[in-house]
């Protein structure tokens, strides 16, 4: 869960404190929010995304990046750390050290009980304000299920697709890549009796 610090600070102060910090924090509207540590399942899924996606992007001009690379939503001022991101063509960064990316094409979040509502709601509201972003991917840690939200117009219309059958292959049109569901969950331990809850769609929001 994101834990809010009560001290109000500037973006410059946040970046100065974030550089030497042992744990990552988000920043929005003058406040820092400490990000919780991940689990083996969470880490395993994120690693599988990178391993499956990386080779497909070689020689395409696109590059996959992990959760150490910070992303800023310029319109809203949110600084955050997606689990996985993809940038295509020249990367645009806020700083000369290239620590804060401004133009991801695709972003992935591996869901957890404590952050799922945030990932689906507020975080997605921010991400939709990134002009370069074309796809937002949510990967469940409760069952084998992936939702892909795709931008279908410059006016901000988004559609969603759910992949949850064992033989499914996730299609990422933004980077012309595919991710087999089986591969995403390889060597990952999921709950033995995870409830099959219906997905929450946020089309056209």
Burial per residue of 142-171, b for 16 or more beta-carbon CB atoms within 10 angstroms, e otherwise: bebbbbbbbbeeeeeebebeebeeeebebe
Of 3-12, 100-109, 150-159, 182-191, the one with minimum mean pLDDT is 3-12
Identify the DSSP state of 116: H
Instruction: Count up the domains in the chain and report the number.
Output: 1
Give me the pLDDT at residue 139, please: 98
Q: Whose CA is closest to 77, among 154, 146, 12? A: 12
Give me the pLDDT at residue 38, please: 81
- Whole-angstrom CA distances from 166 to 46, 80, 110, 183 are 19, 32, 18, 10
Residue 134 pLDDT greater than 60, yes or no: yes
- Measured in degrees and rounded to the nearest 5, phi and psi for residue 118 equal -65, -45
Does any domain span residue 6? no
> For residue 59, what are the domain limits?
38-184
Does any domain span residue 164? yes
Give me the pLDDT at residue 1, please: 40
Does any domain span residue 22? no
* pTM as predicted: 0.88
Average pLDDT of the segment spanning 93-115: 95
Does any domain span residue 202? no
Residue 201 pLDDT greater than 50, yes or no: no
Contact 179, 185 (CB under 8 A): no
Does any domain span residue 19? no
Residue 2 CA to residue 142 CA, distance in Å, equals 20
Does any domain span residue 191? no
Residue 4 pLDDT greater than 60, yes or no: no
155 pLDDT tier (thresholds 50, 70, 90)? confident
Give me the pLDDT at residue 37, please: 76
Does any domain span residue 81? yes
Q: What is the CATH number of the domain that holds 114?
A: 3.90.1570.10
């Amino acid at each position: 869960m994101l834990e809010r610090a009560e001290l109000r600070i500037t973006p410059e102060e946040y970046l100065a404190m974030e550089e030497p910090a042992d744990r990552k924090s988000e920043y929005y509207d003058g406040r820092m929010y400490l990000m919780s540590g991940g689990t083996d399942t969470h880490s395993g899924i994120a690693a599988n995304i990178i391993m499956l996606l990386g080779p497909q992007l070689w020689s395409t001009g696109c590059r996959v990046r992990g959760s150490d690379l910070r992303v800023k939503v310029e319109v809203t001022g949110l600084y955050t750390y997606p689990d996985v991101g993809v940038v295509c063509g020249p990367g645009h960064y806020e700083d000369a050290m290239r620590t804060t990316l401004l133009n991801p094409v695709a972003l992935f979040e591996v869901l957890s009980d404590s952050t799922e509502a945030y990932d689906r709601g507020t975080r997605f509201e921010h991400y939709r304000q990134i002009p370069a972003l074309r796809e937002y991917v949510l990967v469940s840690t409760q069952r084998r299920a992936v939702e892909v939200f795709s931008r279908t117009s410059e006016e901000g219309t988004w559609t969603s697709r759910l992949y949850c059958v064992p033989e499914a292959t996730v299609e990422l049109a933004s980077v012309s890549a595919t991710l087999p569901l089986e591969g995403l969950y390889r060597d990952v331990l999921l709950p033995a009796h995870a409830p099959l809850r219906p997905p929450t769609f946020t089309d056209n929001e």
